[in-house]
Amino acid sequence: MAEPSFPIAGRTVWVAGHRGLVGSAIVRRLAGEPIGGLITATSAEVDLRRQDVTEAFVRSERPDVLILAAARVGGIHANRSAQGQFLYDNLMIAANCLEAARANGVAKTVVLGSSCIYPRGAHQPMGEDQLLTGPLEPTNEGYAIAKIAALELAKMYRRQYGMDAISLMPTNLYGPEDNFDLETSHVLPALLHKIHNARATSAATVPVWGTGRPRREFLHVDDLAEATIFALERYSGEQHLNVGTGKDISIRELAELIAEIVGWEGELEFDPDMPDGTPRKLLDISRIEALGWSPSIGLREGIAATYDWFLANSESIVTRPR
């Protein structure tokens, strides 16, 4: 592979959102790199929704690199019940961080978004050019609008100020340090937790929201961390890049796979009163693959590793502050 155009060696790297699923994976990945220093702050220390606080932090820390993994995230239920908060928090975090990075000469910025930026009826698999071609999925519209604004801001700051900011749009993620709360989490950690509880209590059934028919693509967060460092060092352009596996499965198939991994043999009870959300979300990953990155963690292997992590941390995972 060609030499990196932006080698990370010796640079100070601010990982915004370092305690979350994505940020913590990036911190683990950076542990193997000869960087000049890691900069982090909890949301209690630096509230990125506040411009004055964010600017003061960046002015004093002066990072060379910003990896923007801070966000308010949640599963379908959390998203649809607090659209305003998801829009406001994510809009403010993105605008404040990008502006502070620009004003303080951050040399490279990576914005992390989500595949929910694409229209509900997008052609599958979704190429980057599907952005802004149709109406969004209503259950996560607030979050999606904020993430679209973030990637557009990065693009326009590149055009107007020559800022080296790139954007990555990962598919549904899972792995260690995820939110396993049954109400607010995404489907994979929720089903892992529910099915684990069912095995522990010898329950005969597990409730699964919706019809089980929607299809989703799942990427282990360590693969995203790899893609992030890959793109940071080797890609510079206004075109955002999809990051996924290029493979999807139905929610029913996911639940059955998790049941197999956990070792529970009961019955799945689908609840059609809960929303299905978008019918299918599968990314076209040919752009990033052409640059030289591809995923390496298979779904079965990734879920098994995540379940091991869950078992090792089950005392503290649900209530741990972020």
The minimum distance between CB 216 and ligand GDP, in angstroms, equals 5
58 is a site residue for ligand GDP (CB under 6 A): no
Tell me which DSSP letter residue 210 carries.
Answer: B
Q: Which of 88, 118, 143, 161 is catalytic?
A: 143
The minimum distance between CB 90 and ligand GDP, in angstroms, equals 14
CB-based contacts of 81, cutoff 8 Å, min separation 6: none
| Catalytic (active site) residue 143 | yes
Task: Name the residue nearer to ligand GDP (CB basis): 15 or 187.
Answer: 187
Residue tagged 């059609």 (tokens) = 272
Nearest residue (beta carbon) to ligand GDP: 75
Q: Which of 66, 251, 262, 317 binds ligand GDP (CB under 6 A)?
A: 251
* Residue 143: both structure tokens together: 């979050």
The minimum distance between CB 280 and ligand GDP, in angstroms, equals 10
Q: Which of 120, 186, 196, 220 binds ligand GDP (CB under 6 A)?
A: 186
Site string for ligand GDP, 8-47 (x = CB under 6 A): ----------------------------------------
Of 71, 279, 86, whose CA–CA distance to 179 is shortest? 71
Q: Which of 66, 187, 259, 261 binds ligand GDP (CB under 6 A)?
A: 187
142 is a site residue for ligand GDP (CB under 6 A): no
The CA distance from 127 to 242, in Å, is 8
First to last CA, the chain: 37
Helix (H) or strand (E) holding 304: helix 299-313
Measured CA distances, 171 to 77, 95, 107, 218 (Å): 18, 22, 27, 6
Of 117, 217, 225, whose CA–CA distance to 177 is shortest? 225
Q: Which of the residues are catalytic?
A: 143
Instruction: Name the site residues for ligand GDP (rule: CB under 6 A).
Output: 75-77, 116, 140, 172, 185-187, 190-191, 208-210, 214, 216, 251, 274-277
